[in-house]
Chains A and B, each alone.
Chain A
Amino acid sequence: MFKPREMKRALIVGSKHDLERTIELLHSMGVAHIIDYHPETQDDQLTLGSPMEHASLVSQQLLRLRSNAQLLGISFENSPASTVMAESHITKDLELKIHDLELSVLSVIEDKTRIEDHLKKIDGRIAQLQPFVDIDIPLELYTGYEHLTVFTGSVRDMKTFTERLPGITSEYDLFVAPGAEQVLALFVSKTYTEDAGSLLAECGYTELKLPEGKGLPKQFIEKWTQQKQELTEKLQQTNNQLLDYRKRYAEFILASEEYLSIKVQKTEAPVRFATTAHSFIIDCWIPAESLLSTKERLETETNGSLYLEEFPVGHEEEPPTLLENPKPVRRFEFLLELYSIPNYRDVDPSVILSLIFPLFFGLMIGDVGFGILLILVGYIFMTKLKNSEGFSNIGWYIIIAGIFALLFGLFVFGDMFGMTFQTVAGETNAHSWSELLKVTIPIPSLIHKMEALGLTELLVLSILAGFLHLGLGLILGFISERKHSWKHAITKLGLLCVLVGITVLIFVMADWTWGQWLKPLKTTAVAPFLWGTVIPMLKTGMFLGELLIPYVTIVLAILGVLIILVTTGGFGLIEVLEVTSHLISYTRLAAICVAKGAMAFAFNVIGLGMILSGNIIIGVVGVVLLILMQLIVFALGSLSSGIQALRLHYVEFFMKFYKGAGVKFTPFKFHRKYTVKE
């Protein structure tokens, strides 16, 4: 649970005769993470393997299938698996079926493109002729003159043109479309063609070519519109046909795509192996606990003609990482991978992440109402977006965080939607649920976010959380460094000394806060020890101005710094500063908790003021406004709480022990969704 699974490196050697059988076996066992062979780094006598004979045929089939799937709009990622097909059913006449699919899809697609082209052309023609409908001259009258030139087109500056045209000649006939005032048809005597042309050019003339034919433009447009309608109907028919094909072939395409992908994976696998003229070598990582069974199975199934040798993990080697966690925790591995895939030698912090990330998230929200909303939103994410791994995981985090927020809201802060259940003594403008609903709700607020005392308590609580979190990180750092370098491991202990020292100092500064939390212990057996020995010892020290610096802090800080100086030298001192700033960094828990609470509080004062004003209209506006404002607080609060809780892990916590940059264990197998092997 706290370590990635142990790996063993294995070399599988056999005769080329057995290659296909071996690949088949390895694929079905799905335990080997194959290491690709790179010829330049090894012996020259070995060469890269070549794909199996039928590899290119299979790849081609796959390519054809995928292109047809794309034409039909079938996506492989998000299609649910409604039925699972047997491989024998797929292989039967596969080539014929793909051919059949290609033929039918291709002919429909061709029809579709032809119709679409035609439609586009007609649209163009209609757009061209439309302006001339209003001029209402039969098309045949625009052409065929000996002494006349005809200009048809649009003019930007029609006014200047109509004013200046009579200055050139009076032998013309000008038609301007009444609807579109920039379109004209000009009939002018050939003698003045040039003059009229240059005037037109000055006025921004663009020629519009008219189609040839006989009849009024209106009749043409009517004819084309009818054609267009017919074509649209046809297009609809082909689209329906495509949908029909899509329905008919979807199952076949999904299943055979999967089958062929598996086939390609297998037939091209030899490219990753080293080969000689007659033998092959597969270099791979296998989880240690599956090694023996793998070896036995390979040997029995090939009658002992395969040879498998195992090697221990060398210091230089970087085995792939296979994490092993219970299912609810496994979802948090996604957050880990988002940061960096853990190194084989790293401690696996998934379990810690799965508890503390939602705890921090929930603490920052700390509100019954928002907690319930979070659980709802998380549930929606998990059910509606379950096809996306990322979103369904995020939904899971939100649900757990929501539960923590609910618990903190009930037992610590005693508030819902930024309003406490019980009225705070001395607060006059703050509302409470008890006051609003006129019943006494027996949920007290142990910590009031909105008061100076509450903020102090929260800050101390944050520092305490930071101390525990960072301390845990340093201990994990010590554990994982211990195996490589004692020097680095001891540095972590030095840092731990500094961390304890600083925390003691901060706690002595705020002694009255935790003093009151310790009060319940006064009647227990530890009281004499606590108040007789521990607390007086922590509180003796030297004064720096008004500030009491406990001797414990001084001793621990000096000890820690000395350890770091000895193990890592002067540069290590930067880490001392880092630990200090990281500890203070945890005050963001308090800061966001209070900031979010204050926003909700302020909006409540505004909204409830309007609702309780007595005016119905203002009251209704108040209700709408209040809901909107609460949603804004919820959205902003959850976003920042989530990111900050994550950051406390990524930056403060992980830096103490986590190296990352690992390689994910990807076994040689295929995750089947639509097919099943007999």
Chain B
Amino acid sequence: MAADAGIIALGAGLAIGAAAIATAWAQKTIGAAAVGATAENDKMFGRGLIYMVLPETIVLFGLVIAFLLIQKM
């Protein structure tokens, strides 16, 4: 049982960790472009912000999966 718990915990960690890296990776590119666009045109701020936070949903998928896994411990 203890071994199972360990594997589950690892899985949960991987789920949220990998999802967070993916989010960061996506945001890096979008963020740079959004700041550039806003510098050129202030009106792009709103849209830039939306594009910027779009990938954050990915990490939430990771969170939900991690949470469902942890409940099985």
Please tell me the number of chain A residues within 8 Å of chain B, measured between CB atoms: 19
Q: Is the CB of A647 within 8 A of B64?
A: no
Q: Does B50 contact A (CB under 8 A)?
A: yes
- B25 beta carbon closer than 8 Å to chain A: no
**Closest beta carbon of chain A to B1's beta carbon, Å:** 18
B contacts with A: majority SS = helix
Could you tell me the distance between the alpha carbons of A584 and B64 in the complex, rounded to whole angstroms?
8
A584 in contact with B61 given A647-B53, A651-B53 (CB within 8 Å): yes
A643/B64 contact (C-beta < 8 A), A584-B57, A651-B54 known: no
Interface 1/0s, chain B 32-73, versus A by CB < 8 A? 000000000000011101100110110011011001001100
Does the CB pair B63–A452 fall under 8 Å? no
In the complex the two chains form, what is the Cα distance from A587 to B70 in whole Å?
Answer: 16
Which residues of chain B come closer than 8 Å to A339, judged between CB atoms?
Answer: 46-47, 50
Give Cα A471–Cα B53 distance, bound, in whole angstroms. 22
Interface residues of A in 327-358 (CB under 8 A from B): 338-340
Q: Is A90 positioned at the interface, with any CB of B under 8 Å from its CB?
A: no
Who on chain A is nearest to B59 by CB? A591
Contacts of A646 on B, CB cut-off 8 Å? 49
Q: Which residues of A contact B50 (CB under 8 A)?
A: 339, 647, 650-651
A455 to B12, CA, bound (A): 15
Give the complex CA separation of A647 and B53 in angstroms.
Answer: 7
Chain B residue at minimal CB-CB distance from A651: B50
Q: Is A459 interfacial (CB-CB < 8 Å)?
A: yes
Q: Which residues of B contact A452 (CB under 8 A)?
A: 70-71
CA distance A585 to B61 in the complex (A): 8
The residue of chain B having its C-beta at the shortest distance from the C-beta of A463 within the complex is B64
**Interface membership of chain A positions 422-459, coded 1 if the CB is closer than 8 angstroms to chain B and 0 otherwise:** 00000000000000000000000000000010011001
The 8 Å CB contact of A587, one of B47, B53, B64, is B64
- Ordered by A's residue number, 25 sampled pairs between the chains whose C-beta atoms are within 8 Å are A338-B45, A338-B46, A339-B50, A340-B47, A452-B71, A455-B67, A456-B71, A459-B67, A581-B57, A584-B57, A584-B60, A584-B61, A585-B60, A587-B60, A588-B56, A643-B49, A644-B53, A644-B56, A646-B49, A647-B50, A647-B53, A647-B56, A650-B46, A651-B50, A651-B54
Find out whether the CB atom of B46 lies under 8 angstroms from the CB atom of A340. yes
Q: Which residue of B lies closest to A335 (CB)?
A: B46
List of A residues within 8 angstroms of B70 by Cβ: 452
In the assembled complex, which residues on chain A have CB atoms less than 8 Å from the CB atom of B67? 455-456, 459
Closest to A643 in B: B53
Q: List B contacts of A643 (CB < 8 A).
A: 49, 53
The 4 closest A-B CB pairs, nearest first, are: A338-B46, A339-B46, A647-B53, A585-B57
Chain A residues with CB below 8 A from B56, complex form: 588, 644, 647
Instruction: Tell whether A587 pairs with B45 under 8 Å between CB atoms, given A647-B53, A650-B50, A651-B54.
Output: no
State in angstroms the CA–CA spacing of A646 and B52 once bound together. 12
Residue in contact with B60 in the complex, picked from A338, A456, A588, CB distance below 8 Å = A588
Given contacts A452-B70, A644-B53, A651-B54, A591 and B63 within 8 Å (CB-CB): yes
- Which residues of chain B have C-beta atoms less than 8 A from A651's C-beta? 50, 53-54
> Which of chain A's residues have a CB closer than 8 A to the CB of B53?
643-644, 647, 651
Distance in angstroms between the alpha carbons of A459 and B61 in the assembled complex? 12
Q: What residues on A are CB-neighbors of B47 within 8 Å?
A: 339-340
B49: A residues at CB distance < 8 A? 643, 646-647, 650
- Please, what's the 1-or-0 string for B9-25, where 1 marks a CB less than 8 Å from any CB in chain A? 00000000000000000
A379 to B47, CA, bound (A): 28
Q: How far is the CA of A340 from the CA of B47 in the complex (A)?
A: 8
B61: chain A residues within 8 A (beta carbon): 581, 584
Cα separation A219 to B56 with both chains bound (whole Å): 72
Q: Which residue of A lies closest to B57 (CB)?
A: A585
Question: B16 to nearest A CB, angstroms?
Answer: 10
Contacts of A459 in B (CB 8 A): 64, 67
* Alpha-carbon gap, A339 to B64, bound state (A): 29
Q: Please, which residue of chain A has its CB at the minimum distance from the CB of B54?
A: A651
Complex alpha-carbon distance, A585 and B50, angstroms:
14
CA distance A587 to B63 in the complex (A): 9
